[in-house]
Structure 1
Amino acid sequence: MKILVDADACPGRDVIEKAAKENNIKVIMICDLNHSLHSDYSEVVYVDSGFQSVDMHLINICEKQDIVVTQDFGVAAMALGKKAFAIGPKGYIYDEENIDRLLFERHLSQKVRRGGGRTSSIKKRSTEDDYRLYKNLIFLIEKENK
């Protein structure tokens, strides 16, 4: 098991590393060349800055039972297809029961925006988000170790 992070726009990296360190799990943070990340714990992998290059690299190295941290529902769906776990940076776990609905809602929102409409804005990150992310990462780690 390893934790793969879609790190281009992933808040909560410190929470991810804390959970990983406590359980001696490798973390790989993947970002494109337009970003600069530094970590004393995680391996940072840089990929070209092409369209979805981070997503494709992450999915290519993803294996069964890995934990993928992403806010992209498409990446989460592909990770689930590889029998990995998927969780958002706010700590919400993606699974077979909710991913289809999330993908459909994303499709509807894109349709509204293409038509000139507006969709709701993203809420600011809170301490509850950090707590949920930590708690659910530990849940997924323990789920794998059972």
Structure 2
Amino acid sequence: MPIYVDADACPVKDEIYRVARRHEVRVFVVSNASLFTPRDELIEMVVVRGGFDMADDWIAERVGGGDVAVTSDIPLAERCLKAGARVLSPKGREFTEDAIGDAMATRALMEMLRQSGEFGGGPSAFSKVDRSRFLSKLDEALHAIRRKGS
């Protein structure tokens, strides 16, 4: 039951490490460049070179049922769901099979609006509420996976 972290812009890495230690779960911190990770046998930094989306490909090729993926990348979330993983955004939103199609459509619409100049900006700022929601959802996901596996 590893946790795969799309780490380049993930604001909850420290929270993931704390929860992983408590649950004794392995964490793969996947990025295009080396990032600081604590020295811990449960935490492994994986640097994937080669270009855009290579880190996403690395995660998607390995994630499976009983795993957790943490990403704000909707196409990666969709790939992880198809592999049977539970997927959380850093803001604590759980991606589900039922909702991923809507998320992909919204993403495409927003991209089109940004390119046409009709919409600017990005996601809302990360807050303490987001951090708290994420911690709760990650803990909930790990407990659910353990119950299912028992």
Q: How far, CA to CA, are the matches of 1:66 and 1:98 in structure 2?
A: 19
| Unpaired segments ≥5 residues, structure 2 | none
Contact 1:79–1:86 under 8 Å retained in 2: yes
Q: What RMSD over aligned residues (CA atoms) do the two structures have, in Å? A: 1.3
Q: How far, CA to CA, are the matches of 1:37 and 1:59 in structure 2?
A: 23
Q: Which amino acid aligns with 2:105?
A: F
| Unpaired segments ≥5 residues, structure 1 | none
Q: How far, CA to CA, are the matches of 1:38 and 1:111 in structure 2?
A: 36
Q: How far, CA to CA, are the matches of 1:5 and 1:126 in structure 2?
A: 19
Q: How far, CA to CA, are the matches of 1:6 and 1:49 in structure 2?
A: 16
Partner deviation per Cα, 1:18-52 (whole Å, 9 max, x = no partner)? 1111100000100013x432222321000115011
Q: What SS does the aligned partner of 1:30 have?
A: strand
- Aligned pairs (5 A) from 1:1-146: 1-33=1-33, 35-41=34-40, 42-146=43-147
Contact 1:79–1:85 under 8 Å retained in 2: yes
Q: What SS does the aligned partner of 1:68 have?
A: strand
Identity %: 27
Q: How far, CA to CA, are the matches of 1:4 and 1:38 in structure 2?
A: 14
Pair 9,111 (structure 1): closer, same or farther in 2 beyond 3 Å? same
Structure 2-normalised TM-score?
0.91
Please list every run of at least 4 consecutive aligned residues from structure 1 whose deviation after the TM superposition is greater than 3 angstroms.
Answer: none
